[in-house]
Every structure is written in structure tokens, then in C-alpha cells.
Structure 1
Amino acid sequence: MNPREAAGPLAATFLDLPFGSPGGSVELFLDLYTGEKPFIPARAFMLAPAGPRPRTPDGLGLLSVGGKCLEGPAFSRYVTHLRRALTTALKPSEIGVLHLHHLGFGATPALMRALPAHPRIALVHGTDLIFAEAHRDQLQVLRVTARAADAIVVPTGAMADHLLKLAPQTDRRKITHIPWGIPDRLIAHPPTRNAHTSKSHLRLLYAGRLTAEKGVEALIRSVATLQGAELSIAAPNAQFSALAPRLIRAGVRARYLGWLRRPRLWKAFAEHDVLVMPSTTLEAMGLVALEAQACGLPVLYQPVPGLSESLARSGMATNFTHPSTLTQDLGRLRTEPDLLPALRQAGFTNAARYPLSKTARGLSDLGRQLI
């Protein structure tokens, strides 16, 4: 599909994260709105990182606003500064619709205040819900956004259920299910797999942020008791450096791959046997798992909301909080000769259901309906 076929009204959208921040939400944002031929035409913004101004993809603007925080009077001042920067950067007559990525944080209230008369599509991500549970001001922002949005997009039914627990007054009729997607080119042309699989050990890969909700502590405890498995970690450097002492204390030898950008990450998927996803709370969709599946890498995952829906039987559910269960499941992957090939095929079939072009088409169609 030609990206322009999905083009809808010009969107204004903003992630108040520094450009270069890790995470599936960031990759989805850049996939949708930036590049020479973006799927969705937009005025898209992120925060300018500290230091020299980086080279950015076509279509991405950077706002030099400091003071990012989550609550209290400082949060109100931060939103005001973001709103002023957006008011300077945007021409209201050019914008057709607002895409509010994250129902919380500072970008969403700032964008709504900068362009108060435009239709609003709010897109729920997992971090919105996690931070709303932990911070009173973020819960308030989430509830205000849910009321003010003309449409609320969730990638999985689990995200809708969780949102309604936090904001029970939300009008359910505004909620639309549009799954997140992975690059069409990855589905069409995945990297060639390294066919080597040892019967004596499995090459495990963890890829993503090393934050508490990602289940890193459970992974360390489980891997410390494993026999016949080698662990590689692809994560932000600073986060891995902070984790390294705990790995040493637990006696876990992990190979650090660095923080890999595409397509290097896709190549790493093709060089391992299993992706491990020990998330403890929820995942909006688990894009890294879908990209791994597109590369022929089976996924071993904790069945938390979001992942259970997007992966289901195409992956292998386990319990990272019980090392004996994980050991048993990894043993099956080593000793049952048909299991890994079956998971590879099921995973690729599952990943093919979620092309990014389909996500873009759904969002663009929704935007047209609101104008």
C-alpha cells in the first residue's frame, strides 16, 4: 500500500519525550508520522534532548522545553510552557485533528489548550495507565482527557478495560479498537534467520527498557537458576549499567548487545531462539513481540493484559515468577523438536495480522469521521 493512500486530515501530535528515547510508543509515533512519505500527514513534535541538536527524521519538530515532571505546581508550569511552544509552532487553520498520544503526561493537556477547537483522538498507551495509578495528578489528566476526547483509540480490549477502571465515567461509545502495527516492510521482507539451534542450550533475548513494570527482577531470579540457556540483553546503556550489579550478585552472565535500532534489532531477532517478555503488569500491545515474531523468533511471555490478547497461542505463556515453571517450559522448547518450528510459523502468521498501514488507515478514517 502506498502510504499516501491512508492520508487523512493533517494531524497535530506531540510526545513530550526527548528525541531518541526508547520504547514501543516512540517507535510507533515515528513510524506513523515521520519520514519522506509518512503514513499520516502531521505536524509531529518531540522534546529536544540535552546537548547538540540531533539529526531527526523528516517531519519531526523538536521543542526546547525543560522542566518535565509528573505532579504538583511544577507540572502545571511545565504544561503551560509546552502550550506556549506549541502555540508558536502551529498554525490552527492548517490542522484538521489532534492525535493525543498518551492520555496523561504533559503533551496532551498542552496540545488541547493550544488548539482547543479541533477534534481530538486520544490514543491509549500502557504507560498512561501505569502512571495514572501511581500519580494523582496524572490520574486527573487521564480522566479529563477521556472526557474531552471525541474518540479514544485502544490497541487491545485489555486497555479499554483498564481505562474504564481508572476513569469509570468515560463514555464507552467513544472507544474504538485499532491495533498498533509493525512496519509493512518487515512483514514483507524479514531478515534471514540463523538456522543454528543447539539441543543443549537456547539463546534467549530480552529487548526493551529495563524498568520495573517490564519484569526484569523476575527475569533475573528465573535465569539465575537456569541450565542450558544463554541470555542476551538489548536495552538502553544507562539502564543496563544500573542493572549490571544485580546481575553479578545473582550470578547471571548476560551478553549486552547495546541499545539496538532497526534494522539491527531485527537482525538480532534472527540470531536468537526465543524472545523473553516477563512484563509484570500490562502491555498495550507488545510491539517488540510482534516484530520478533515477524522475524521468526518465538516469544515466551508472562500472560499479562495486552500481551495475552495480541499474542495468545501464537506465543508460549509461562510464569517468570516461578523459576521451576520457566525451566520446564524451556526444557520443552529444547526437547520437543516440533515446538520451536510451530511457534515460529504461528508467530509469523500472527505478526502479519498487524501491518502498520492498517493502523494508519484506521486512524485516518476515524479522523475523517470527526471533521
Structure 2
Amino acid sequence: MNPVAQHTAGPLAATCLDLPAGSPGGSVELFLDLYTGDQPLVPARAFMLGPSTPRHRLPTGLDLLTVAGKCLEGPAFGRYVAALRKALAVAIDPAQIGVLHLQHLAFGATPALIRALPSHPRIALVHGTDLIFAEAHRDQLQVLRESARAADAIVVPTGAMADHLLKLAPQLDRRKISHIPWGIPDHLLTDPPTRPARAASSHLRLLYAGRLTAEKGVEALVKSLSRVPSIELSIAAPRAQFHALAPLLQRAGVKARYLGWLRRPQLWRAFTEHDALVMPSTTLEAMGLVALEAQACGLPVLYQPVPGLSETLAASGVATDFRHSAALARDLDRLRTSSGLLSALRQAGYANAARYPLSATARSLTDLGRQLA
């Protein structure tokens, strides 16, 4: 048996992420890293929704729920939760389950799982999009507050997430909140991909990796880069989202190389072929896992100092202001011209990423589950 899996073996969790299998995003990657595979770090019955593309290859240990009607508000949301609850109740033997891991405080899977298994202890994991959507949708704010009350423990990856949650749910008993940082795969820390040697160049190779939704700040990035010389931009993102961005790139006169929506090993190799990762997020990041994976691969990170990222990266990256072209140009010029700066940032990044092994996340979640079970 895998020594990590053996060390962290605890009560069998039931957990559900109500996104289609194959969806992009750090929350999905973390979910799959923790709960699926031949020897999952956290033993679980793990569920997602049936994929929009049936050809998608499923990881071992992931089950799919065929439930339509995913939505956010109104009577249709209630019907969706009821259908999810019914599907989970059919799929899960309550006698086998020791603890519920509620992914997100909002959305449909958390109330559905609570209703399907009403007598089991509950650990809620706050990811970030639940807070953003609760701010924007009244029904989701209600779900968040009800889920927070119903949880026996609430796990946040950063102190900034706890602060944000308490603003949305001020009546929450803060003693329920546990700070457990998310992590990145241990093998990426111990055996990162090799960085190929690069000839001296006056151009700085920038990489954006992730979804292109509004809160990720890509519009500000593109507008500011339009005034910055001597950069090459690559984008790894879902194809439809990149196509939607194309008119803005054209208007701004920014040439971007599209890499596709890369699988993790491909993304890790892409990290080694660039000079800096850009993270222009506008609101908050739960943890910034893509930044930590980049640092583990020796790629320095430029980031907007929003809650979550400021805590995770601090001085191991370069905080800049993507909304102001002059500030961004100054920081990029410093990276290009300051002797030894990129090398120093690579070393600081390696050290920072090493603080966040996924096995430590799994151990802490399992220990918490044992205390509640």
C-alpha cells in the first residue's frame, strides 16, 4: 500500500462536486487529487455530474450522477437539489460512510448530500467560487448560511477566506473554522520537470493558465500588455473561453499563443518553457494552486495582491498591479533586466511551494474526520 494512503486512512468520506466531469478549475483538480485514483489520499465515495462529453475518461474512484437541471436560483434550484439528493441516496450505503466532505458551502451538492445522509458528521470545504456566487445570488447566500450552520467543521485554505466567509455569514460560530491549506501533488515537489536551458533573449515569455472568467482579470491583463514591449504571451485555457477572448486580443493588438486546455503533466512542462506566470485575479483566490504548481516547476509568479494570493505567495512572487500598464511595465522590465532576479524568484518559489504538499492536506482532513466520526 502507498505509505501516504496508509498513513492517512480514516473514515470513508462521501463527497460530491456538482460540476460535470472534465470541468476546468483548481477546485476540480484538488477534488480529483484528494479523492480519486487507485489509492486515494482520502478514501471516499466521490461523485460529479455526468460529463457534457461522454468520451471523457474518468479517473478511478469517481462516480457520475445523471442529474439534469443544474442552476442557481428559484424553484428550479430546489428541484435540482431534490434530484441530486435522490441520486445520492440511491448510490450511497449510509452504513459504509463515516463522514461527509461538503465541497463548497453553496451550490446544489452540499444541501443534497446533507439531506441524503442527515445523520453523518459534516466537514465543509470552502473553495472560493461559493463565496463569489453567494455575493451575487441571494438564493446561494441563503444556501451558504444554512450549510455553514449545518456543518460540524468548516475548512478554509487561507485566513482571507475565513474573513470573507464571516462577512457573508456574520452569525457563524467561528470556532467551527479550521485553517487547512490546500496542497499540490507531492511528486511534483520531489520530482519536478526539468527546465530546459534557454539562450539569452530580450523578450520575456509570460504564461496565463486557467479559466478566463471575469474574476480572473484577463481583460485588465490584455489592456495593460498592449502598451508593454518585448513580451510574448501564451494562454492555456478552455478553448471556448479563449475564442471569446480573441476579439479583445485583436483590438488591443496583443498577440497570444494559444496552448490549448492542457492536462496537468502538459501544463507542468509548459511552466518550464516560460519566464513568468501571470495571475491578474480581481477579487480573491481561495489558495492559488496553479501558482504553487508553477513555483514547484521553477516558474516565477507575478500576481495581483488580492486576498488569498497575498497570503499564499507573499514575497515569493512579485506583487504588481495589472490594472495599470505603467506599473506592470516597470515590474516586467525589472524581471527582464535585473541580473539574477528571475533566478532568485525561482529559488524562493521552490521553497514556498514545498510548504504545501498535498499529503499534509489529506492528513489534516483525515485527522479532522476522525475527531468528528
TM-score, scaled to structure 2: 0.98
Worse-superposed segment, 5-14 or 190-199: 190-199
1:111 match = 113
1:152 and 2:154 correspond: yes
Letter in 2 for 1:340: L
8 Å contact kept, 1:4–1:37: no
| Residues 69-105 of structure 1, C-alpha deviations (whole Å, 9 max, x = no match) | 0010000000000000000000000000000010000
CA distance in 2, matches of 1:222, 1:324: 8
Q: RMSD of the TM alignment (CA)?
A: 0.8
SS of residue paired to 2:329: helix
Task: Work out which of the residue numbers 315, 318, 334 in structure 2 matches 1:313.
Answer: 315
What's 1:43 paired with?
A: 45
Alpha carbons of structure 1 residues 197 and 220: separation in structure 2 relative to 1, 3 Å: farther
Q: Distance in 2 between matches of 1:51 and 1:233?
A: 23
Alignment correspondent of 2:192? 190
Residues 1-371 of structure 1: pairs in structure 2 closer than 5 A: 1-52=3-54, 54-196=56-198, 198-371=200-373
Matches of 2:89 and 2:140 in 1, distance apart?
23
Residues 101 and 122 of structure 1 are in contact (CA less than 8 Å); yes or no, is this contact kept in structure 2?
yes
**Cα distance in 2, alignment partners of residues 300 and 364 from structure 1:** 34
Q: Distance in 2 between matches of 1:52 and 1:329?
A: 45
What CA distance in whole angstroms lies between the structure 1 residues aligned with 2:255 and 2:53? Answer: 34
Counterpart residue identity of residue 299, structure 1: V
Q: Given residue 268 of structure 2, which amino acid in structure 1 is its aligned partner?
A: W
Q: How far 1:53 moved relative to its partner?
A: 5.5
Give every structure 1 segment of 4 or more consecutive aligned residues whose post-TM-superposition deviation is greater than 3 Å.
none
Cα deviation per residue 1:155-190 (whole Å; 9 max; x = unaligned)? 000000000000001101000000000000000000
Residue by residue over 1:102-161, the C-alpha shift from the partner in whole angstroms, topping out at 9 and shown as x without a partner, is 000000000000000000000001101000000000000000011110000000000000
Q: Which amino acid aligns with 2:167?
A: K
Structure 1: segments with no counterpart, 5+ residues? none
Farther off after superposition, 290-299 or 191-200: 191-200
Give the 3-state SS of the residue equivalent to 2:264 in structure 1: coil
> Counterparts of 1:261 and 1:228 in 2: how far apart (Å)?
29
Deviation at 1:62, TM superposition (A): 0.4
CA 1:38–1:343: 2 relative to 1, 3 Å: same
Q: CA deviation at 1:3?
A: 2.0
Letter in 2 for 1:307: L
Closer, same or farther in 2 for the Cα pair 1:106/1:137, shift >3 Å? same
In the alignment, the residues of structure 2 paired with residue 171 and residue 198 of structure 1 have an alpha-carbon distance, to the nearest angstrom, of: 55
**Unaligned stretches of 5+ residues in structure 2:** none
Conserved? CA contact 1:199–1:335, under 8 Å: no
CA change 1:197–1:303 in 2 (3 A) is farther
Distance (Å, rounded) in 1 between the aligned partners of 2:199 and 2:368: 45
Seq. identity, %: 77
How far off its partner does 1:199 sit? Answer: 4.1
SS of structure 1 residue aligned to 2:16: strand
Q: CA deviation at 1:198?
A: 3.8
Count matched residues. 371
Question: Secondary structure of 2:160's match?
Answer: helix
Distance 2:200 2:133 in 1: 41
Q: Deviations over 1:11-44 (max 9, x none)?
A: 0000000000000000000000000010010000
Distance of aligned partners of 1:135 and 1:197 in 2 relative to their CA distance in 1, 3 Å threshold: farther
Letter in 2 for 1:327: A
Q: Distance in 1 between matches of 2:72 and 2:236?
A: 28
Structure 1 residue 52 displacement after superposition = 2.6
The one-letter code sitting in structure 2 at the alignment partner of 1:346 is A
- Code of the aligned partner of 1:308: S
Q: Distance in 2 between matches of 1:5 and 1:276?
A: 36
Quickly say closer, same or farther: Cα 1:209–1:11, change in 2 above 3 A. same
Paired residue secondary structure (2:206): strand
Measure, in 1, the Cα distance between the counterparts of 2:234 and 2:340.
24
